[in-house]
Structure 1
Amino acid sequence: MSLTRQVSSIKSSRAFRWTVGVGVGITAALALILMFLLTQATGNRELYEQNYARLLALNVAVAALLLLVIGWVGLRLLLRLRQRKFGSRLLVKLAAIFALVGLLPGMMIYVVSYQFVSRSIESWFDVKVEGALDAGLNLGRVTLDTLAADLANKTRQAATQLSETSDAGAGLALERLRDQLSANDVVLWSASGQVIASTGESRFVLQPERPAASLLRTARSQRVATQIEGLEEAAVGNAGAGAAAPSTPPRIKALALVSSTSVGLLGETRYLQITQVLPAGLVANAIAVQEANREYQERALARSGLRKMYIGTLTLSLFLAVFGAVLLAVVLGNQLAKPLLVLAEGVRQVAQGDLTPKTALQGHDELGGLTRSFADMTQQLLEARSAVQQSMSQVDAARANLQTILDNLTAGVMVLDVQGRIQSSNPGATRILRAPLAVYHGKALGDVPGLEAFGQGVQKQFETYFSETSQRGLEHWQQSFELNAALPGSPDNAITLIARGARMPGTEECLLVFDDVSEMVSAQRAQAWGEVARRLAHEIKNPLTPIQLSAERLEMKLSGKVAEPEQAILTKSVKTIVDQVDAMKRLVNEFRDYARLPAAELKPVDLNALVTDVLQLYASENAIAPVQTELDPHCPRIQGDAQQLRQVIHNLLQNAQDAQEGLERAAKASILVKTSYAETTRRVRLSVRDNGTGFPEHILKRAFEPYVTTKVKGTGLGLAVVKKIADEHGARIDLSNRVTADGVVEGAQVSLSFAVVT
């Protein structure tokens, strides 16, 4: 907790210094921005107008940033005051004083400047100036219109002179007209837009520019038409800073209809076009007046924005002054109150048990020396407490290591008190006993459902151990226990445990360690039965053949030599001997096959296809009870030996058929073969379920042992072979009776769980 407070204090100090640095940087940036805005607005209007939107957005962003910083500083001071931190009142008082010192003069300057800016901007726009610009613009338009009208009259007169001139002599006449009118270009056009004759600039052009269709229509209807070209391009070129000069100077074009004196259909309409360049001075003056009027109108429209810009600049100046005052107040107040704050915070932390290194000021005054002495004292206390904590840490580490070992042990470990109540247990105990032992901590082991007998046996062993320890000096006790039907999930519904118990040194608690040896016992039993089967097959099979041959030879020698009654007895006796010898041979062969079961050759196998193939042998005409299937189509392939798995399915189906033979409820007899796939565990489950009488309790515990059977004619090797094949495949096998809610047994079920192909 103390370390957290120290880290928080260090972060707070760093945040404050970072805030001060950022505040100083923002202050300098604001000063530069304000100077730039004022300079650009008064000295370079074009640049100001081009960047008006950007400057406005920048001003709004800067104003918002200033407000946020000032609000954050004020909120921080208010929180310190509400938390009653030492020195907070002094900081608030200094901040208020400096803020007032900066605010009052700033407000007075702001009011005066606001009035000055508003009136100054309005005085820039005068009605007389606007009227003069309009008059100049109108004068330029009238002058251009006069020049155009004069050229139109001259062109109409020249067209009258050309009415008697043929196309062949038009060139010489056009040359005289160009000299008389001082024109730059003279062109005679046909009605189809073809050049008849030309002089001037168009003479050097292969394809002169044809008159516009609108201009031709006007000339045809009004006898003459004029057009001023190039003036707009010249104005644009003059306004653009880097724009290219227009290719042709501004000029006036006049187009007049040339009347033809020819009578008849052969006379063709002609048009006379005269082009005259406008005087450069006139063009320059007209463009200047037009540009000045446009600029004046734009500025008149933007004067409200200019006023807002100046007022915004003044407002930002006021914010800057207030921000600087508050920031200065915080900095100076912090410098004055910092030593006292350091000592107050250090004393509070020590009172709460926090002995982490304290902040010491490097100043040479008395307060700085006091902070250094206080820091040295807390450092000595911290070293003393660290030694104690190191010892405790070693103990905790040893305990954690022991707990890790217990959690990862495959054996079960439990701690019990002298009354047999569970104090603690590891995950191995929960896994082996298949019971949520953590829920029963504080309760007796015998109170756990299904572990009553185990708990009583363990408690009895501890009582014997305690009574004999003082007499015989026993270090521990060891005993085997068998848990059966109460703990489903083991291969044969029985668990064999090897348990050891002892007293924990220095306490009244007892340590119980146990391990599940069911698989080991099952493997030993299977190995023992295999050895027995092998020896029986060897010892019994050899004399069976001579016995059978001797009986048959005896019958052959005595047949026809004895009386009829004796002959019947002889034939019956020999038949009995031969039949029993054959039965013993079959029994011996089954034992031999069990003992010599080959190792499984695991390959990918489709279990559904294998079940379908075997079920062909159990059609309705061959089966005692009908066989139904529920095959999961999503079952993947499993790792298995197809031949051995076929034998497993056959043995299970044959047992299910035999279990329902002769039942009174044969009409309801049925067998269900089911496959399913669990995606979470990635295993395929095969189940065979019947509606028979189930297994007796004493058989259910040992059903997978050889020669354990409920059938009169059975050898008891069917389930033993299934169990052995399941072990070869690494499959889990379960055997249980199907019991209704009323406790009535309605059949048995055998299930095998196989791993899928990876």
Structure 2
Amino acid sequence: MNASPASQVAGKSRAVRWALGVGVSVMAAIGLVLLFLLTLATNNRALYERNYAWLFGTNVVVAVLLLALLVWVAVRLVARLRRGRFGSRLLVKLAAIFALVGLAPGLLIYVVSYQFVSRSIESWFDVKVEGALTAGVSLARATLETQASETAARTRSASAQLAQVPAAGAGLALERIRDQLGATDVVLWSASGQLLASAGPSSFQLHPERPSAQQLRLVREQRAMAQVEGLDDLPGPAATQDARVKAIALVSSTSVGLLVEPRFLQVTVPLPPVLVANAIAVQEANREYQERALARDGLRRMYIGTLTLSLFLAVIAAVLLAILLGNQLARPLLVLAEGVREVAQGNLSPKAVLEGKDELDGLTRSFALMTQQLADARETAQDSMGALDEARARLQTILDNLTAGVIVLDAQGLIRSCNPSATRILRAPLAVCVGRPLAQVPGLEQFASAVQRQFDDFLAHRGSHGPDHWEHAFELHASPSGAAHHATSLVARGAELPDATHLLVFDDISDIVSAQRVQAWGEVARRLAHEIKNPLTPIQLSAERLEMKLSGKLPATEQALLTKSVKTIVQQVDAMQRLVNEFRDYARLPAAELQPLDLNALIHDVLHLYESDRARVAVRAELDPRCPAIAGDAQQLRQVVHNLLQNAQDATEQAGADADGALPAVCISTHWSEASRRVRLRVSDSGSGFPAHILQRAFEPYVTTKVRGTGLGLAVVKKIADEHGARIELANRLEDGVVRGAQVSLSFAPEHAVAS
């Protein structure tokens, strides 16, 4: 099971605090240990000389790190204080109190210790002490010189025993002298420095140390000499065993002659260890005293620096401890304050809690629980609001995709809302008129008045068991203009909503009415064709028979009247026959058989019939080669093109010639639209255009502007267009606001789109 974000934040913060505390503790411990070692170094000269520099440097590094940590914490405190975060002032006060508590006694002890160290160091270097040390060194030197003189005298006396002893037998005498004098080594040397005899360690050495020529010359002059050895070569405790007095004496000879070579007796006697130790101690003390006397200022700086560093570490540790302890005391309050601020801002995410056992930590847990309960309640409310918004969006989507128009009006007739179908059916900018009365929408004044009357009557006569809605049919007429505005037939229903608003739902039944009219005209055409066609042939035959029977039997005047009357009857019968055929063709128009069709090729075939030089009005073609194939019935579309071109020629001819005396050409064009993915066929003329009342019902049968027209041409075109799923539009061509003719447009889908 995963931990909550609040517990993760609290755990991370706790880990950071532990890491900071452990780091400070470790650094403080290292500083104390190093400070202790530094103190030991000041009391041990050898240790001081070896380790004081790096110990002091390491202590300084630790102090600098602690100071940097303190500065970082202080910067954070100042930043929190500037941001006005709760608890910042408390932390600053606690840090100041602890720092003052640690600094004041530390400064007092530092001042006293400083004076004590300064005066103590000065007291070390007293004149009497220096004189005593000098006298002790002189006394030790005199004692050693006395010891050397006595050894030289005894060696001279012992040399008399060798006067009559030859070199070959001197070994026994040397042993006896060694025992007498308590010497460690006795050697008999010749004048040339050759070893003649020896007793002691020299007997076992291949090349014993021989006296120098200067020493031998000095012995000849003084008869004997002695010197102390081993004190300068081995300073320290080891010199007490190696310190010795080496004496050399001239051996007297009883023989007289020039060839007699003198001999020298060398005796090595060890010095008493106590004497040597005391002499070395006095000498070492004097030397150390002199060195420290010369380094008096440096020693003072060393002790004062150690003392200052101790105070510095103590103060920094106290301040850091104050900040850490103050943070622990103020942390629950800070957590609560941050949580309250977030809740006030609307943030109900899980809050940090403290796992301690005191009351403040328990308060953070209670606050986090309360926040979680608030978050759960808000989430429930948001889920409800989300469901409501989803239902509203679903309802709005349904309304937007309804083919029926929907308008919600308040009791005063103001538009509260509407759907796109309402704007499309009424052809009025309803979306921008929300909040305004329906009666103020351009073109809907009469409709709004009629709707208001229906609502008033419905509300006035509504009973407890009466109908819950009203229904009425309306006819809307747009104002005359140069574009195709048809009469719109509506069936509207109204009802009252629970919040006292009015719901108006209406459907456009213009297509249904038009289809009913077309169906009715088709039925009328079928019956007329059946009822009128039968008597037309007998009438024509009867008139021709009368003319044939009476021709040549009547006077010229009556003959002319007969001929004219029969011709009139035959012409009218032919006209009636053509009318009947048109009605029959309209009523019996077969269903379209759609096949892939090249519209441009079809138009080229039809235009061959309009290329005669005697054509009343020329036809100009503008065909787009990009047009793809469409799905169409070639025979029916050929009839559409014929009807449109003939109507355009008739309209252009009725309008008359232009200023040059020529009739403008009729234009037939095709165009492929990449945006709409449709093929458009357009036929335009230069006639007088359509009157407004004709535009409203131009596709109904028997509606025409021609004197001899039946009004079935555009009706047939409309019916064929519907069979092909084409969109048909009828409009006047306007130039500078003046009608310059009419145009009929049909748009077809490509063949692959129809097939899919």
TM-score range, shorter chain: 0.5 to 0.7
Aligned to 2:407: 414
Rounded to whole Å, the distance in 1 between the matches of 2:499 and 2:361 is 55
User: What is the deviation of 1:564?
Assistant: 4.4
Rounded to whole Å, the distance in 2 between the matches of 1:727 and 1:73 is 85
Aligned to 1:210: none
Q: Percent identity among equivalent residues?
A: 66
Alignment of 1:239-318 (within 5 A): none
Corresponding residue pairs, total: 483
Could you tell me which of 595, 602, 611 is aligned with 1:619? 611
CA 1:639/1:369 → structure 2, altered by over 3 Å: closer, same or farther? same
Could you tell me which of 749, 752, 756 is aligned with 2:746? 752
Rounded to whole Å, the distance in 1 between the matches of 2:393 and 2:78 is 47
Are 2:368 and 1:368 equivalent residues in the alignment? no
Rounded to whole Å, the distance in 2 between the matches of 1:735 and 1:590 is 22
Are 2:455 and 1:462 equivalent residues in the alignment? yes
Alignment of 1:461-480 (within 5 A): 461-469=454-462, 473=466, 475-480=468-473
Aligned to 2:496: 503
User: What is the deviation of 1:693?
Assistant: 1.2
Q: Deviations over 1:593-612 (max 9, x none)?
A: 11111212222323233333
Amino acid at match of 2:437: A
Are 2:422 and 1:429 equivalent residues in the alignment? yes
User: What is the deviation of 1:720?
Assistant: 0.5
Aligned to 1:734: 729
Rounded to whole Å, the distance in 1 between the matches of 2:5 and 2:430 is 43
User: What is the deviation of 1:467?
Assistant: 4.3
Does the 8 Å contact 1:487/1:493 carry over to 2? no
Does the 8 Å contact 1:492/1:734 carry over to 2? no
Amino acid at match of 1:604: P
Rounded to whole Å, the distance in 1 between the matches of 2:323 and 2:733 is 83
Rounded to whole Å, the distance in 2 between the matches of 1:381 and 1:503 is 40
Aligned to 1:643: 635
Amino acid at match of 2:585: D
Rounded to whole Å, the distance in 2 between the matches of 1:676 and 1:23 is 80
Aligned to 2:652: 660
Q: Deviations over 1:502-541 (max 9, x none)?
A: 332342x221111112222222222221122112212221
Task: Name the SS of the counterpart of 1:405 in structure 2.
Answer: helix
Aligned to 1:719: 714
Task: Name the SS of the counterpart of 2:616 in structure 1.
Answer: coil
Aligned to 1:704: 699
User: What is the deviation of 1:84?
Assistant: 2.7
- When the two chains are superposed, the root-mean-square deviation of aligned CA atoms in Å is 4.5
Aligned to 1:343: 336
User: What is the deviation of 1:583?
Assistant: 1.7
Amino acid at match of 1:373: S
Gaps spanning 5+ residues in structure 1: where? 1-6, 25-69, 99-326
Rounded to whole Å, the distance in 2 between the matches of 1:95 and 1:631 is 93
Q: Deviations over 1:21-43 (max 9, x none)?
A: 9999xxxxxxxxxxxxxxxxxxx
Rounded to whole Å, the distance in 1 between the matches of 2:743 and 2:491 is 29
Does the 8 Å contact 1:700/1:736 carry over to 2? yes
Does the 8 Å contact 1:492/1:702 carry over to 2? no
CA 1:660/1:397 → structure 2, altered by over 3 Å: closer, same or farther? closer
Amino acid at match of 1:657: Q
Task: Name the SS of the counterpart of 1:634 in structure 2.
Answer: coil
Task: Name the SS of the counterpart of 1:747 in structure 2.
Answer: strand
User: What is the deviation of 1:591?
Assistant: 1.0
Rounded to whole Å, the distance in 2 between the matches of 1:477 and 1:90 is 75
Rounded to whole Å, the distance in 2 between the matches of 1:570 and 1:697 is 45
Does the 8 Å contact 2:653/2:663 carry over to 1? no
Does the 8 Å contact 2:732/2:743 carry over to 1? yes
Rounded to whole Å, the distance in 2 between the matches of 1:755 and 1:11 is 63
Aligned to 1:136: none
More displaced 10-residue stretch of structure 1: 380-389 or 361-370: 380-389
Q: Deviations over 1:4-50 (max 9, x none)?
A: xxx998897798799999999xxxxxxxxxxxxxxxxxxxxxxxxxx
User: What is the deviation of 1:592?
Assistant: 1.1
Alignment of 1:173-572 (within 5 A): 338-352=331-345, 357-379=350-372, 396=389, 398-469=391-462, 473=466, 475-486=468-479, 493-507=486-500, 509-572=501-564
Task: Name the SS of the counterpart of 1:660 in structure 2.
Answer: helix
CA 1:75/1:485 → structure 2, altered by over 3 Å: closer, same or farther? farther
CA 1:504/1:413 → structure 2, altered by over 3 Å: closer, same or farther? same
Does the 8 Å contact 2:730/2:744 carry over to 1? yes
User: What is the deviation of 1:651?
Assistant: 0.8
Amino acid at match of 1:577: I
CA 1:544/1:15 → structure 2, altered by over 3 Å: closer, same or farther? farther
User: What is the deviation of 1:413?
Assistant: 0.7
Q: Deviations over 1:51-99 (max 9, x none)?
A: xxxxxxxxxxxxxxxxxxx99999988865543333567889999999x
Does the 8 Å contact 1:623/1:657 carry over to 2? no
Aligned to 2:170: none
Aligned to 2:602: 610
CA 1:729/1:370 → structure 2, altered by over 3 Å: closer, same or farther? same
Does the 8 Å contact 1:740/1:746 carry over to 2? yes
CA 1:728/1:434 → structure 2, altered by over 3 Å: closer, same or farther? same
Q: Which has the larger radius of gyration?
A: 2
CA 1:693/1:388 → structure 2, altered by over 3 Å: closer, same or farther? closer
Q: Deviations over 1:659-708 (max 9, x none)?
A: 12243444363322232222121112222221211122222211111111
Q: Structure 1-normalised TM-score? A: 0.55
Does the 8 Å contact 1:499/1:514 carry over to 2? yes
More displaced 10-residue stretch of structure 1: 682-691 or 82-91: 82-91
Does the 8 Å contact 1:361/1:368 carry over to 2? yes
Aligned to 2:583: 591
Amino acid at match of 2:333: L
Does the 8 Å contact 1:492/1:703 carry over to 2? no
CA 1:11/1:441 → structure 2, altered by over 3 Å: closer, same or farther? farther
User: What is the deviation of 1:444?
Assistant: 2.3
Does the 8 Å contact 1:349/1:355 carry over to 2? yes
Does the 8 Å contact 1:601/1:641 carry over to 2? yes
CA 1:481/1:487 → structure 2, altered by over 3 Å: closer, same or farther? farther
CA 1:471/1:333 → structure 2, altered by over 3 Å: closer, same or farther? closer
Task: Name the SS of the counterpart of 2:655 in structure 1.
Answer: coil
Rounded to whole Å, the distance in 2 between the matches of 1:601 and 1:556 is 48
Rounded to whole Å, the distance in 1 between the matches of 2:676 and 2:79 is 57
Rounded to whole Å, the distance in 2 between the matches of 1:576 and 1:430 is 55
Q: Deviations over 1:246-301 (max 9, x none)?
A: xxxxxxxxxxxxxxxxxxxxxxxxxxxxxxxxxxxxxxxxxxxxxxxxxxxxxxxx
CA 1:452/1:675 → structure 2, altered by over 3 Å: closer, same or farther? farther
Amino acid at match of 1:612: H
Q: Structure 2-normalised TM-score? A: 0.55
Task: Name the SS of the counterpart of 2:435 in structure 1.
Answer: coil
Gaps spanning 5+ residues in structure 2: where? 22-69, 100-319
User: What is the deviation of 1:644?
Assistant: 1.5
Amino acid at match of 2:693: H
User: What is the deviation of 1:579?
Assistant: 2.3
User: What is the deviation of 1:455?
Assistant: 2.9
Aligned to 1:193: none
Amino acid at match of 1:580: Q
CA 1:20/1:643 → structure 2, altered by over 3 Å: closer, same or farther? farther
Aligned to 1:174: none
